Structures are given as C-alpha cells and as structure tokens.
Structure 1
Amino acid sequence: MANWSNISLQDSMSPLMEQLIFFHDHTLVILIVITVIVGYIMVTLFFNNLVNRLLLEGQLIEFVWTLLPAMTLIFIALPSLRLLYLLDEVNNPLLTLKIIGHQWYWSYEYSDFMDIEFDSYMKPTIDLQLDEFRLIETDNRVILPFNSQVRLMISSSDVLHSWAMPSLGVKVDAVPGRLNQSAILINRPGLIYGQCSEICGANHSFMPIVIESIETKLFLKWLENY
C-alpha cells in the first residue's frame, strides 16, 4: 500500500508486482557494478600512465569490453522477456471487471452479474473520514476478492485515460473504441490506491482509483446485498 514520503516502490499486493520489484533490484545491482567499474577506470586513467599505455592498443581489452556489455544485456533481457509474457497472461479468471474512463471519473461493471455497475468519483474533502486520504479516496470503492484471478476489460468513452495501480503492477491505457485486457491477482486483503496516469484534461489529477480487497465469502455477501 502507499506510504507518504516513500521514495521507493510501493509494497506489492500481487505476485506480478513482486516479480517486477525483483527485476528492478536485479537490474539496479547490475547498474551499480557497471557504474563502479567505469568510475574506477576513469579515475585510474587520470593518474596512471601505465594503464594509459596498456589501453592504447590491445586486442584483448577490445574483445573484453565488447563481450561484457553483450553478456550484461543478456542478463537483463532474459528476465525482462519472462516478465512481459507473465504480465500478458490471463489464466482462467474467476470474474471479469469492465472499466470505462470518463472525464473525469471511472465507471465499473461486474460483467458476470446482472445490474452490478456504478460510477466512482473522487470524494470531496469535506466528506472525508479521519482514516481516509485527501484526493485519492472515492465515493464508491471497487470490491474484489483476494487470491482470485480477475480479468480487466478497459476502455474509454471520450479521451485517452490510463488505469494505473502501482502496487498491483498494472497500468493499462483506456482508449476510445478499443477494449484492452489485463489481469490481476491480489494476494492479501487491504486497500489499494491508484490514479489515472494519462493526461486527459483539466481534472486529470482528480480521477483516483480505490480497490478494497476482501475474502471471497464477504465478496459474495456484498454481491447479495448490492
């Protein structure tokens, strides 16, 4: 979940986001190693004429600094490609959530059930409870069960929007006339916050998203009482 003044990635609420965080850390280690090695060589070149003479002409050093970047790219590319395939995969969804972006609010439809749809607007500051966040709380939260595969069908009724949930590792464009698909699997209960991340007009910054993750039994009870 989101924490104020946090300069790192949000805590993951899905297995895919965990993998994205692992890939981020993996790549960051490689970048740190490269930075240290290149920095060491540059500093050494200023003070050591012997190294300068050795680097002027040398087949071996040219071979090494051609081979090492290629191997480094392979170590980055392989887990990246694996993640791309995992993010695109939709495995036997338990339910489907249809999401439509408007200027400037979201509407949701539980396509597997009759007449369960609602609009979700940003909650005015004057209506906030003590435990609610300003500018990212909504009047209607999206209720979803955790440990269940959920298919997302995302579109727009007017301009480009983007349905983004950082702690779930999901960011899907909502395009007029096009239906984009994604999937999420929330692995624990709680509140998950997101926002529209496509500049869609004057009130772009006032299109928050709130998902409330609950047990399957409570979700079924919510459906009955809706």
Structure 2
Amino acid sequence: MKILLFIGFFLFNFTFMDAPNFWQLGFQDPSTPIMEGIIDFHNHLMVFILPVTIFVFWLLYRCLSFYSYQGDVRKSLTDYDEYFTHSTVLEVVWTIIPAFILMLIAVPSFALLYSMEESIQPSLTLKVVGHQWYWSYEYPEVHQIEELSPESLKVSDLPPAEAYYKKVNLGSSKQIYYNAATAEHLGFDSYMIAEEDLTKGSLRLLEVDRRVVLPEKTHIRILVTAADVLHSWAVPSFGIKVDACPGRLNQTSLFVKRKGVYFGQCSEICGVNHGFMPIVVKVVSKYDFKLWQVGKLMSFDV
C-alpha cells in the first residue's frame, strides 16, 4: 500500500517545483522561455552523450582485454603484426563522425545562446546590487512618496495640468497621478531570515525579509552589479545566472510565463557568508503588481 501511495504521489503531483528539494536530480520546473530552451537542449545533448559514453567504455574494455598480455609474454608479442602502424579508413571515420556530432550539438546551442542575449524592449527595469552579504534592489520606473500631500498625489480620471506628474493605471476607470519631481526611486535591501525567525513552511537558508516582486508575462530588463566583491545573481527556474562585478553593469532580460515564488542564491564565492545570500522573487499578475506599485508609491508595505 505504501508503495502505491509513493508511486501515486509522483504520478499525480502536478504542482510546480520552483525551489530545491531533497534528492533532486533534475532541473527545477521552468518558468521562462530561456529555461525551457535550456532543458530542451539538455535533453538533446543526452541523445548524443549516452551512446558516445557507452561506446567509449566498450572501446576501452576491448582494448584492455584484447591487447593485454596473458601467459607467455613472447607468445603474446608474436600474435600482432609488427608492420601494422595505421589505418586511413579508421582515421577518416573517427574524424568525420565526431565532427558531425559536434555540428549537431553546436547549431541548437548557438540558437539558445543568441536567444539568451536577445533583448526585447522592456516594460520594466530591475537593478540588482550585490553586497557582502545581502542584495539591494531598485525599480527605476517605480517611485516612492515619503510625504502625502495635495502636491505629491492626485487621484483623478483626468491628468493634472503639470507635466511632471506621472500616471499609474489601476484599471479602465481608476488612475493615480503623482509628482515625479518629489518622488524617489523605489529601492530596498533584502536579507536572509535567520533560522530561529522562520515561520512554518518557510525554507531554511532561502527565505528573505523582503522579496522582489515582478509582473508575469512582461518583458523585464535586469541590470546587475556589485558594491564590493564579485557576486552572481542566479535563479534556476528563470535560467538566469548573471555575474555581479564591481564597477561594471551586466544586463539580461526576463519574461516569466506564470505566477509563483522562485528561489535562488548567490552563485559566486564572495566571502565567509556566501551561503547566506538567498534570492526570492515573487511573480504576480500585472494588476496585482500595479496594486503593489501603488502601495509602495504611498510608502505602504504591501
């Protein structure tokens, strides 16, 4: 009965796996087209790697067994043709076949590499800064108002006369206009939550006090840098791993296809607390992201 329950759990478990699990051997479930391409390319590679590996081990076995000395050494030496030095046919075969296999591997890899570097006009920008040992995030397009006043915020269906007011849409009828001249770019630091402060259901060494919030099905540009030493911003479900280098700004693009909470970690050894730099990204609907944006705009933590 236990065996049937065990098999049924894996057969009928259709929930997405966006965090590492015990005894996990494969990839996390993809949430971006890039990660889907990486998994497809991995499966494509295994078609060639497995037969080549089996053939190489078989060839080693044949060489070790056929050419090993057994019994009388003199008798074994006379069994081989001393004038046999090379085979043109064999050399052509073992040159052409590997070259053909490498070509079959290279073509899809070039397409994947090109798509990873392709940048589509983004609707949102997220700036990531690595520190010892935490992450800082900035939303250049998302603002924050420290003090509410008639000059800083207007709720109306009609735009104000001042040109420096910006608009946040909350739907077809509701709009908020805020003074971009007095607002600041939204930014915050994200630290790992200590084990003694974790709530039930939280993941050890992976939960943070402030999560990154991003909208689904939106082209996002991610800018990554560091303030001190080398870091690396990596989220497996996104198929993203970007080095954070001091004095340099690296860029990548992101398009998340579904909502969820995604976990990652710093993937570049950066000091004694390198293992305590988790990354948590919460992907919500576009409408929920607008609500979150308005909450941040008015300094409310939502």
Q: TM-score by structure 1 length?
A: 0.92
Q: Which residue type is aligned with residue 11 of structure 1?
A: D
Q: Which residue type is aligned with residue 76 of structure 1?
A: I
CA deviation after TM superposition for structure 1 residue 41, in Å: 3.4
Equivalent residue number for residue 97 of structure 1: 126
Question: How much identity, in percent, do the aligned residues show?
Answer: 45
CA deviation after TM superposition for structure 1 residue 47, in Å: 5.2
Match of 1:211 among 257, 281, 296: 281
CA deviation after TM superposition for structure 1 residue 184, in Å: 1.0
Q: Deviations over 1:177-205 (max 9, x none)?
A: 11110011111111100011111111111
Residue correspondence of structure 1 range 12-31 to structure 2 within 5 A: 12-31=30-49
Equivalent residue number for residue 100 of structure 2: 71
- In the alignment of these two chains, the number of paired residues is 223
Q: Deviations over 1:89-118 (max 9, x none)?
A: 110111000111111110101111223111
Bigger radius of gyration, 1 or 2? 2
CA deviation after TM superposition for structure 1 residue 126, in Å: 2.3
Which structure shows the bigger proportion of residues in helix conformation? 1
1:88 aligns with 2:117: yes
Partner-residue secondary structure (3-state), 1:111 = strand
In structure 2, distance between residues paired with 1:141 and 1:167: 16
Equivalent residue number for residue 58 of structure 2: 40
Match of 1:156 among 226, 240, 243: 226
Structure 2 gaps of 5+ residues are 1-17, 68-79, 145-185, 297-302
Match of 1:62 among 91, 95, 109: 91
Kindly report the root-mean-square deviation, in angstroms, between the aligned alpha carbons of the 2 structures: 1.9
CA deviation after TM superposition for structure 1 residue 37, in Å: 2.2
Q: Which residue type is aligned with residue 105 of structure 1?
A: Y
Q: Which residue type is aligned with residue 67 of structure 1?
A: I
In structure 1, distance between residues paired with 2:218 and 2:132: 30
In structure 2, distance between residues paired with 1:104 and 1:213: 24
Residue correspondence of structure 1 range 2-17 to structure 2 within 5 A: 2=19, 3-17=21-35
Q: Which runs of 4+ in 1 moved over 6 A?
A: none
